[in-house]
Amino acid sequence: MPRLATSRRQAAGCAPLPSAHTGSRYARHAPERTLLYALVEAHYPDFIARIEAEGRSLPGYVREAFDAYLRCGVLEHGFLRVVCEHCRAERLVAFSCKKRGLCPSCGARRMAESARHLVDEVFGPRPVRQWVLSFPYPLRFLFASKPEAIGPVLGIVHRVIAGWLADQAGIDRASAQCGAVTLIQRFGSALNLNIHFHMLWLDGVYVEATELPRRERRRARAPTTAQLTQLAATIAHRVCRHLTRKGWLEGEGESAFLADSAAGDDSMDGLRMSSITYRIATGRDAGRKVVTLKTLPGDAGSLEGDAGKVGGFSLHAGVARKHTKATSSKSCAATSRARRSASSGYRSHRREGCGISSRRRGEMGPRMSNGMRWTSSPSWRHWSRHLAPT
């Protein structure tokens, strides 16, 4: 067993070892050389000190995620020496943190594995449409503080969309067979806390057939902007009614507001709200908007035009993939994507400009919160193998 390196520089210098092959070669991703790693390593201790000076403390899962990220992929924190059984070439492979809250490398691996599983084992050769639902700021805070509120809300959303698909296909709702996989994303394109749903729905409704294949698909047309707006209004009404009954919302309609019971039981509430509203969380500038580096022109692209918006709820369904493996893999990977690195650009132009702040701490969820939810008709397991790949 080789001796562990005594410093990060020494460890980085000893990998990769020479290879006898001249083709494509493995290259260690060296996280300690990235901008994100440098920012976390330089400012994380100061952030902890400021939090403690204010009489607060971070939950254990947040500290664990940051500490594990600073060790992930760094040789001095442990590695394996792997040897090719044919040419005897050797490599040093550092241990990974396998966390989902912060590390871009482990997040990208999880994204690839999830996409491959969805394509090969779940959807197969069937067309899929992506539905995206985002929520107003108060509900984002509620879902971050009370993860147990997400499941019932997701059930409401699924029932609304499944009923609409059945109506569009001209099938009775009781006999319509639908299926969806929802990935609960906790972050926005600006690394802010933004809990929203990415839902991959089978594009259409399946019904029983008298001949093989035993189930056939009835196509449902893509929703129009007016239909998306009506669906968003239905979802908003039912979700707010449910949350009011649970005691997390008070008031009615546009005058509804979060009840005191919506607050969390840890010290993360201030960080969560700052991350949601693009504000500085700690220090002498706490409460101020983040520094604007530059302003980019607004872009009213297809995402805005195809979305239905009601009272802070936004529903989009403009992305559909045919049943080819390549397009399905791309759609599933985009839905299960990991957080971006500190140096990556924005997907679209931001009207208020680009800011820098410590938002990632606020967007982290509890360790045991499930980010992928499955929804299907009760008999899915029994008849899904008979679906026609059309």
Whether 318 is covered by a domain: the verdict is yes
Instruction: Choose one of 67, 94, 121: the last residue of a domain.
Output: 94
Instruction: Choose one of 94, 125, 141: the last residue of a domain.
Output: 94
Whether 102 is covered by a domain: the verdict is no
* Whether residue 45 is found in the same domain as residue 136: no
**How many folded domains does the chain comprise?**
2
* Whether residue 88 is found in the same domain as residue 148: no
Whether 100 is covered by a domain: the verdict is no
Confidence category of residue 112, pLDDT binned at 50, 70, 90: confident
Q: Which residue has the tokens 């208020």?
A: 352
Lowest mean pLDDT among 138-142, 165-169, 250-254: 250-254
Whether 56 is covered by a domain: the verdict is yes
* Whether residue 121 is found in the same domain as residue 65: no
* Whether residue 44 is found in the same domain as residue 130: no
* Whether residue 370 is found in the same domain as residue 246: yes
Asked if residue 232 lies in contact with residue 308, where contact means CB atoms within 8 angstroms, the answer is: yes
Tokens of 240: 């707010």
* Whether residue 212 is found in the same domain as residue 357: yes
Whether 226 is covered by a domain: the verdict is yes
Query: CA–CA separation, 64 vs 74, rounded Å?
Result: 16
* Whether residue 66 is found in the same domain as residue 142: no
Q: What are the pLDDT digits (tens) for 42-89?
A: 999 999 998 888 888 888 888 999 999 999 999 999 999 999 888 888
Instruction: Choose one of 60, 94, 128: the last residue of a domain.
Output: 94
Residue that wins the pLDDT comparison between 54 and 247: 247
Whether 220 is covered by a domain: the verdict is yes
* Whether residue 133 is found in the same domain as residue 213: yes
31 upstream amide cis, omega within 30 of 0: no
Q: What are the pLDDT digits (tens) for 258-297?
A: 888 887 766 788 888 888 988 888 888 888 888 766 554 4
* Whether residue 87 is found in the same domain as residue 129: no
* Whether residue 136 is found in the same domain as residue 26: no
What is residue 2's DSSP assignment? P
* Whether residue 40 is found in the same domain as residue 88: yes
Q: Is the pLDDT of residue 381 over 60?
A: no
* Whether residue 77 is found in the same domain as residue 170: no
Residue that wins the pLDDT comparison between 167 and 28: 167
Domain that holds residue 243: 112-386
pTM score, whole prediction: 0.76
340, 343, 344, 324: which is closest to 332 by C-alpha? 324
Task: Show the DSSP H helices in 291-324 as ranges.
Answer: 302-305
Confidence category of residue 343, pLDDT binned at 50, 70, 90: very low
Whether 90 is covered by a domain: the verdict is yes
95, 160, 106: which is closest to 310 by C-alpha? 160
Tokens of 273: 């709200």
Whether 106 is covered by a domain: the verdict is no
- The pLDDT, as a whole number, for residue 333 is 58
Mean pLDDT of the chain: 77
**DSSP-based three-state secondary structure for 132:** strand
Quick one: what percent of the chain has pLDDT higher than 90? Answer: 33
